[in-house]
Structure 1
């Protein structure tokens, strides 16, 4: 079932955390920011929305890094109910798609809850002061990859954030599969 996150809550401070990465290291989110800001993307391995745009996510992460903007992806899905999202499968997914950014595992889902992540993909764009300036879509793709000439919403917004410290006032929400939450104990 598709989920749509809420609109950007401008100025909301990034939540810091230390999570294990598919590269075998632990990463602190705040350390991944570049001088122009940071994108925190909630993704997973199985979601058709993510699969449709993963090549564009990898491209945009690289292009953003070239512009001084850090990028990190986090998988918070319950791997018990969705085994394709296990940490071992995350490693394979990152290698297959040649991630140039950390892919972190939020096994207890505390980071997704702290961010209010709603779907995969869900993008949070922070300025150099780690204040939220963008919470929108990657581009107009949905469950199928859109045409090559789509406007790069996340990329363009983050270039503006890096330049001015502020994101665009008009943003279009991402859409994707809902986060697969663990059953409450």
Structure 2
């Protein structure tokens, strides 16, 4: 694995590391509606300090083999519209997809486009055997993204996650290398 974060391209997005000057934009977008509410690990409020820490640690976490996180940038404008990530488990050759799209850019296919590119990178370049993800049962948009990129629904873990004082169901989705190599 290269020690530098990859630059991945899709028809409409450039997925690349964030730069320090983007911290304010990241903080503003991550504080948008539903971001912290629909994710497991994004704090609310998402402070400027949190944004700087995230940006400063992107390369180190990738070099350690723990996490690939990339900013979603619109090719035509360069605008940052979200984050896509792949949490890595080298021992099990597993990647866990995550991410979010800014409120004003939802329902345009950016999340699926970015997730597909990162998933493909995980299989083709990182040698993963399995890529999966989870979302809260109430998050139909994320479930739709996972199915759109070819992850199969594997089940519901009832009340498996405590979020803001409420036990949430977690829906699990995944694809294994064999399925990825011969898509349906």
Query: TM-score, normalising length from structure 1?
Result: 0.30
Considering fraction of residues, name the structure with more strand.
Answer: 2
- The structure with the largest alpha-carbon Rg is 2
